[in-house]
Structures are given as structure tokens and as C-alpha cells.
A and B are shown apart, each in its own frame.
Chain A
Amino acid sequence: MRLTRRNLLLGASGGAFMATMGPGLRVSMAADSKSDEILVVLFARGGADGLQLVAPADDAAYQQARPSIAVKVNGTSAGLPLANSLSGVDFFLNPDAPELNNLYSSGDLAFIHAAGVPTENRSHFKSMDMMERGLADNENNLTSGWLTRHLQTLSQDRPLLSTVSTASNNPISLLGYPQAVSIPDVKDFNVAGGDVNADVIAALNSGSSPYQQVAQQTLEAINTVQTKLEGLPETDNGDSLSENGPAYTNGPLSKALKNLATLIKMDVGLDVATVDHGGWDHHNNLVNEFRGQMTELSQSLGAFWEDVADYKDRISLVFMTEFGRRLNENASNGTDHGSGSVMMVLSGNANGGQMYGDWPGLKAANLDNGDLAVTTDYRQVIAEILAKRHNSPSLETVFPTVTYAPLGIVNGDDTLVASPTVATTTPVSAS
């Protein structure tokens, strides 16, 4: 464990409190001891085609189903062969993802194939909603986001900027967690006219309604971010941080990740961040559209990882999408909504350079109504990260219907959840 100012503060005053606290609260203090870990949830919206991203390119059934769009084994646009097969099948990374290939080779990146929602659902909006609330079909009893439930099982004594969305609004995974702050761009994060206006807005909104609370939080977050920004080193062109460093693109994912890297380097106590990357719904002209999309994804992640190199042992980034695409291409040279796709975990603690999951195969009998079957529940991947890296005290609160069965994607101590004795006797901390 790394010593931080927050831990020191807790340590200094913790002894007196400990004596008066119930066991539940003590668990949440323990949970907080890993609070310098940072979880980044990257959601690829639109249904990313996992078979195009990480392709079983030398499977004849794949080539046959996608005659005009398949990633090839040889030739000019051949896929990048990945070390370590899955279920005896070799995979090829999309040729436009050299940075991801490097991250995989270096051992920080792992792929989990045939992952997704365990029940078939081909609606963007229902699937995203389920994945962000942490559900499968017919489990509509949970109304909050899974990140919200995770955060609620931890200590509630959290810094203002501990949970950040880099989009302009908070995702459904943070539904019911109004403390989450959305900051798409740290540099523009200020009230026009400065304090003379901000102070009046604060006084006008000093009440306790939901809107007023968010208003107050907005102003506090602005204050913190602007104070921290002043303390950051300037680069040659006078702009703050990472302007001349890593090779980000001008695209939307790079913008979000660069912004996130700045927030991480501000050391504001960030421990959960969400990032959205839209534009994966390729019904049409897939090869051309995928090229731009892959380049943005790969180059942005490569640049981000270089940008936060000093922090990479504290970061776990998980990439997920609402569903994969149909195995057969359609007549518009695209693919329609399908089922299983690929997930990624990028972490200094990843057992990367390997493929995880259970490859179901592409024979007609193994498909789910024409789609790659889901053999790994997306929640299993997340649960492992929460258990091993975030010391989750109550996975059963986050994913009530999932039995913990880690795949070994990241290393870390999960005895708290893995041991049934502890799991059943530890009360859920306050939420």
C-alpha cells in the first residue's frame, strides 16, 4: 500500500474512531485502504464488433461468413497475430491497432473473448442499460448503476473528485450517485466571469434540493480543479500538461483520455472514472468505418498509457461494449446487432499478453441465433477487478446474481470475497 496524505490523515485520527465503530464500518475503512487504486470504465457505445477487433482470422467459417470485410491472415491488411491462443484457436488483432498490440506484448493488456450479457438482447438501449445497471435479462430489480452500488459499499468519506465522468453527463452505471462529477475538459471547467459570478450562484443555490446540491458540488469541483491546475507544471507552449507528450489524436476518445490523465496527475483522489467512446454501430461499410474507429481507440489508449506511466500500477481500465455483431456480414458490407464481443483489461497489474474466456467456436451449432455466443459474463471480469484491486467488501451487493469465479486477469488479493466465511459474516457497510 502506498502512503497518501489521505491515509496519513485517516491513520492519525483513526484509532479513536475505531473503538466506537461497528464491524461494518471497520470493513469499509479496510476497503478504503486501497483507495489510491483507479478504476476506469471505457464503454464503447454502438456495439463493437469483437470479431473484427480480435479476429479468429484463420477459421474458415469466419472468412466464409465475412467475405468482404474479414480480417485476413496474410496480405497487406493482415491482422496482427496475438501470442497465446484461446481454447486452441489463434487470434489476430485488427491491423489498425498497433498500439494495442504493443500493450498486449508488454503484458499490460488482456483480451477476454466471447464476453457480454449472458442473455441475448440485440437492442442498443436495453443492452447498455443492463450492462450499466449490472444486470442480465429478467433481473430488473436493481435500479441503480453497478458503479453506484460499488461506491456505496465503500466508505462514504470520499473526496469531491473521487468519481468523475469524462463525458458531459454521468452514465447509467453511476445512476443514483449524484456525487459523481462530470468534467469533459479541465481547462474549460470554470464559471464565466470567475468568482464574482460563482459566489452569487453559490449563494442563490445554498439550499438542499437535488438541483441545488449539484450546483454546490459543481462550484466546489470548479474550485478544486482550478486550484490544482494552477499548481501543475506548464509546458513550452504555455498549455498545461501532456500537450507535447504522448501521441494523442484530435479525436473524441483522445480528448477524453487526455483530460482523464490530467485529472489523475492532479492527485485529487480520483478512484472511479468513466469514459465513453461512441460510433461503433457499423451496419454499413464496416471496413472503412472500422479503420478510423480502431485507430482512435488504439492510438488514444497507447498515448494514455504513456501519459500515466507513473500511475499504471494503480490503474485498471476495463473496455466493454453492449454487444457484438452478427457473424455473417450483411449486404451493405456491415454487420447487424449480435451477441458476444470482446472485452479488454489494461492495467499495470494485468496478467496481460494472454487471452481469457472460453471460445465457443463459429460452427452453426455453436452460435446463438447466428451470433458469437457469450461464454463469459461481463460482470465476472468487473467483479475480479473490484475484488482484487478495489478490495470490494460486498460483491454480492454490486452483482447479486453472480457467483465470484475470477479468470485470473489481474493479480491481487481477493481473499475477502473468495473466502465464504468472510463473505457471509461480513455485514454490508452503510450505503
Chain B
Amino acid sequence: MLTAEPSFERIALNRVTFGAREVDEAYVQAIGWDTYVSEQLNPPSGDDNGLAAHLASQTMKITYRGQQTAQGGWPDVDEDRPLNYLTADTETLFKIAIDAGKTVSFAEQARIQQEIAAASWIRAAHAEFQIREFMVDFWHNHFNIGRGDSQFGSATLPVYDREHIRPHALGNFREMLESNAKSTAMLLYLDNASSVAKLPNENYGRELLELHTLGEDAYLGYSDPADQGPVGLGSAIGVKSAGFSDLDVIAASQALSGWTVEFGQPNALGGGRAPITGNFFYNPLQHSSGAQKFMGVSLSGKTEPMAQGQAVLDIAAGHASTAEFVCGKLVRRIFGDTPPKAVHNRAVAAWKQHQDAPDQIKRVMETILLGGPEVGQNPTAKIRRPFERIIALFRTTDTVVNAHPWMAYLLEPLKDGLFTWPAPNGRPDINGYWFSTTANLTTWNLCLWLFYLKEISTSFANQTPLDIQDSPTQMVEFWLGRMIGYEPSEQVVNTLIDDAIGPAGIMTGLNWGSAADIESSFARLAALISTTEEFSFR
């Protein structure tokens, strides 16, 4: 018999993982939540061994016809190939985008996206260090890049994920911000790469302040620096402005101009040109010296290469509004639309206290998860995004997820796959956004048929204890326990028991079907459970 309420462990785990399994719940009960969090917040630098081995064993088929082109073309390809692009460097990936349609098939460009998408599903489902994976997902949305924007930048997204997001997920925000500002993918996505000295492109400068750091509530419009609100909010770091104006956007764009990638542009007086590699470099020829002041701080004395841009990043990353804004997003991701104020305050305090620490974000997570009782209270306040719901379905049914090219496209209609949200603001993180007919329907349908892919593999029959396989009630209770962990409403239980003995139900499968039919009938039961209120929220 299931308990009426979820356990503390189940509630807490569901908040910061892609789905609490019974084994996770038991593990945390055995070692204690504090120890678990401490383990989770100190992951190895790369993937855990099991995950690394699983990823290394993956192949996906790639097939396309050869073609002759003016530049030479390419041969036929038909092979099962490992996910090689996940570890490729910027230059290799950039060259694919440059050569696509000339000496390389466009299919190779698509393949890059298929590999990174498949890896995102596999990591979410199988990473042992789930809290880091949760944070990677958070930062990807915070520093969102839409893959449909720049074909050259998008080709380097494996590098963006591997070097600019993952290593910093529990690290220092200021370091992550500079890494991000220098990433090929972001430089091309928000146009800073093509900024020039004469009239800098403002796209990155604006989103840096509005989305990556201070937040839109700190935007003061086109105000004069003289009346930029009350003095003092940013005073800890000598910044007098409470927020940023359009003039600061322009100043930031000027200060960061010259941060670019090598794509053959003039890079030295006298006719020198950069190679075409896509690698970050600072190009003094693209740098505007026009920035005088940024948010009240003089930039004019900073003449070293990149010094002005770094000063802008210092000010933005260290601003009080940034602590409020980013911590606010983080606690909303964990707790739902109305996160406890006390948690938010603790997070902001830790953020500021550990501003210069290499593990600043880890310290923030510690205080969120261990600094009070909130993490085990008020369950199911946060809706699972479609991606989260699908991964939770896999995790709670012990499903092995293998790479499939469609993983790059299945969530595209809902813009919930990695790099499918087109705008730099990332997906809105409020429950109501996902209360739409199409979000519902698309998620239900994916849950109903994904188990038909051979790459999505489990055995429901083997997991269901043999001695209850003649009892629809016990089997329904068993799978509710696995997936939800407590007794849902009577209506849910009765509906599922009725269905279990109906024409498409598990009893019919077990009594009359082949092994494959039995698996289908259980997969259908799991998918139906995933449509309930109890499973749809975490």
C-alpha cells in the first residue's frame, strides 16, 4: 500500500533532478540528505564513469548520397558512427559549417545538432550527478542560444555545452560570464563577433545586461546617467547606478567590441587577416574606444586589450541586481512560481558572500538545499516541462536511453529541446506557460509512443514482480509507486485498474499477448500514469 504523501526524500529529489527513482529515494534515506547533496555538489570534472562509457558506446546511423560540386563535393556515406562531434574542437566544427554544400554534405551539419541533442537526453536520464545536470539545464536556458540563428555559431554548440556551460555549472558566475562572452556560439548568436569599431552592434551588450546579468527590471530606459535612480544598490563594488540605461547598453557594446572570432577579417594595420577557424580572439581593429563610462564607472583609463570589456563584466556580474535576478530565476526553477522568500534571501546572501569564490554557485546551491526545511515542503508546486516529464518517465521505469537523431526534433514544436528556443531570453519558467493544449497533447503523445523506438529500451515485465502479475490492482499500485511514489487520487487509481482489465490493458496483454504485446501494454500504462497531475508536477 502506498503512503498518502510523498516522502521528504522524494520531494527534495524531484526538485533538483530529472526524476526521483525508488533507488534514489532509498539511497538518500540511507545516507541522509545532507550527505547526498554534498556528494552531488562535488562531481568529477567530466561525466561520471558509467555515463561516459554509455556515451562512448553510442552510435547513430548516418546515410547520405555523394554529390559533385564546383568545390569538389563529397562521397556516399552509410555508416553507424559514434558521437564524434561531441568531443570535436571549434575549428573542426566551424569548418563543417564553412564547407557545407561545397565539400561537406549539409547532413554533417545536421548531425552535429543530432549528436548534441541525443547527448542531452542521455545525460539527463543517466547522469549520476543529477544536480549538476539540473544546473546545466538551468544555465543553458539562462544563456540560451537558438540553433536556427547562425549556422557557423550553431555548428560549435558541442563546444559551447562542453567548455562554456558544463565546467561552470557549479562554479563562479563571473568566470562563467567571461567564458560565455568569449564563446564562438554566443559571439555569433548575439552578433558581437561582427561588431566593429565605428558603430558597435548592440545586440550582445543589451542582452548581457538585460538577460544574463542585471535583468529586465533593472532596465531604466533611455535615461541620462545623471538620473539613474537611487545611489547605493551596487555600492559594494563602487557602482552607483541602480540599473542600466540605453546609454549603458551602448557603452557595453563599445567596451566589448573587438571580442570576436577568427573568420578571415582584417586583424592588423597594413593588411593582415585572421585565419578562418572560428576561434575566439581579440581584434583591436574592431574595438571602439568610444566608451567613456559604464553605469557610472569610468572606462577611459582602461587601455589594455579587453580591459574595458572585462570591466563591464566585472560590474555587471558583481551588481546587486544580478544577484537578485539570477538567484530569483534559480529558486523559481527549483520551487515553482512562488518560491519561499527566505530561500531567495539566503541564496542572494551566499551569492554575494562568495562572489569571488571559485565555487560560488555551489555555495548558493548548498544554502538553497541545506540552509532550511523548504526543499522538503510543498510538493508538486512546479510543473515538469515536457522534456523533464519525458526524462522522468524514462528514469522511473529504468529505461535505457540510446542516441536517436530524432531527439533533435521531437521537442522542437514546443521549443523545449536543447537549443530549440529561438530567442536569447530562454523559455519562460512559469507553470502557466505549459498549460496549453498543444504542450499537453504533444507531451502525452511522445510519452505514448517513444517506447516504440528500439533506442528507448526497458523491460516492464521483468521489473514487475512475478507474484503480482495476476493482480491488476497490485500491478497498478506497483507502477504508481515507482513513478509517483505515493497514493494518487482514488479516481486515478480506479481508472487505471479499470483500464488494466480493459481491451488495451496490461491484464489483456499478459493473458493473451506476445512478449512484445505485454511490453506495449505496460508502456502504455506508464505513459498514462505520466499524464496525471501527480506525475506532471514535481
Contact = CB atoms under 8 A, between A and B. Distances in A.
B357 interface: no
B198 interface: yes
B213 interface: no
A281 B221 CA distance: 19
Contacts of B274: none
Nearest to A279: B422
B196 A168 contact: no
B533 A217 contact: no
A369 B246 contact: yes
A193 interface: yes
A217 B438 CA distance: 11
B495 A203 contact: yes
B199 A328 contact: yes
B439 A331 contact: no
B60 to A, nearest CB: 24
A262 to B, nearest CB: 16
B531 A124 contact: no
Contact of B448 (A137, A192, A330): A192
B494 to A, nearest CB: 9
Contacts of B194: 284, 332
A237 interface: no
Given A126-B216, A184-B438, A192-B448, A204 B432 contact: no
B532 interface: yes
A121 B223 CA distance: 11
Nearest to B505: A200
Contacts of A183: 437-438
Contacts of B448: 191-193, 197
Given A203-B495, A211-B383, A332-B194, A168 B219 contact: no
B352 interface: no
A296 to B, nearest CB: 14
Interface stretch (B176-184, B201-209, B299-307, B339-347): B201-209
B64 interface: no
Interface residues of A, number: 56
B433 A204 contact: no
Contacts of B222: 120, 122, 369
B440 interface: yes
A137 B436 CA distance: 29
A178 interface: yes
A278 B532 contact: no
A103 to B, nearest CB: 28
Given A122-B222, A168-B414, A212-B533, A207 B201 contact: no
Contacts of B436: 165, 168-170, 182, 214
B80 to A, nearest CB: 29
Contacts of B211: 125
Interface in A184-230: 184, 189, 191-193, 196-197, 200-201, 203-207, 209-212, 214-215, 217-218, 221-222
Contacts, number: 153
A210 B498 CA distance: 25
Interface in B479-538: 489, 491-492, 495-496, 498-499, 503-504, 524, 528, 531-533, 536-537
B438 A168 contact: yes
Contacts of B495: 200, 203-204
A284 B439 CA distance: 33
Given A181-B437, A369-B246, A331 B201 contact: yes
Nearest to A213: B435
- Interface range for B: 35 or more
A334 interface: yes
Contact of A334 (B201, B249, B504): B201
Contact of B437 (A120, A217, A328): A217
A204 B528 contact: yes
Contact of A211 (B202, B435, B499): B435
B191 A206 contact: no
B152 to A, nearest CB: 12
Contacts of B237: none
Contacts of B433: 169
A206 B496 CA distance: 13
B188 to A, nearest CB: 10
A281 B206 CA distance: 13
Shortest 5 CB-CB distances between A and B: which pairs?
A331-B196, A218-B437, A331-B199, A203-B495, A192-B448
Interface of A: 45, 119-126, 137, 165, 168-170, 175, 178, 181-184, 189, 191-193, 196-197, 200-201, 203-207, 209-212, 214-215, 217-218, 221-222, 278-279, 281, 283-284, 328, 330-332, 334, 336-337, 369
Given A121-B219, A284-B191, A369-B246, 5 more contacts: A119-B221, A169-B439, A193-B524, A284-B194, A332-B196
23 contacts: A122-B249, A125-B216, A125-B423, A126-B216, A126-B219, A168-B415, A168-B438, A181-B437, A182-B436, A184-B413, A192-B445, A196-B504, A197-B524, A201-B531, A207-B533, A210-B431, A210-B432, A214-B440, A281-B203, A331-B200, A332-B191, A332-B194, A332-B195
Interface of B: 191, 194-203, 206, 210-211, 216, 219, 221-222, 246, 249, 383, 413-415, 422-423, 425, 431-442, 444-445, 448-449, 489, 491-492, 495-496, 498-499, 503-504, 524, 528, 531-533, 536-537
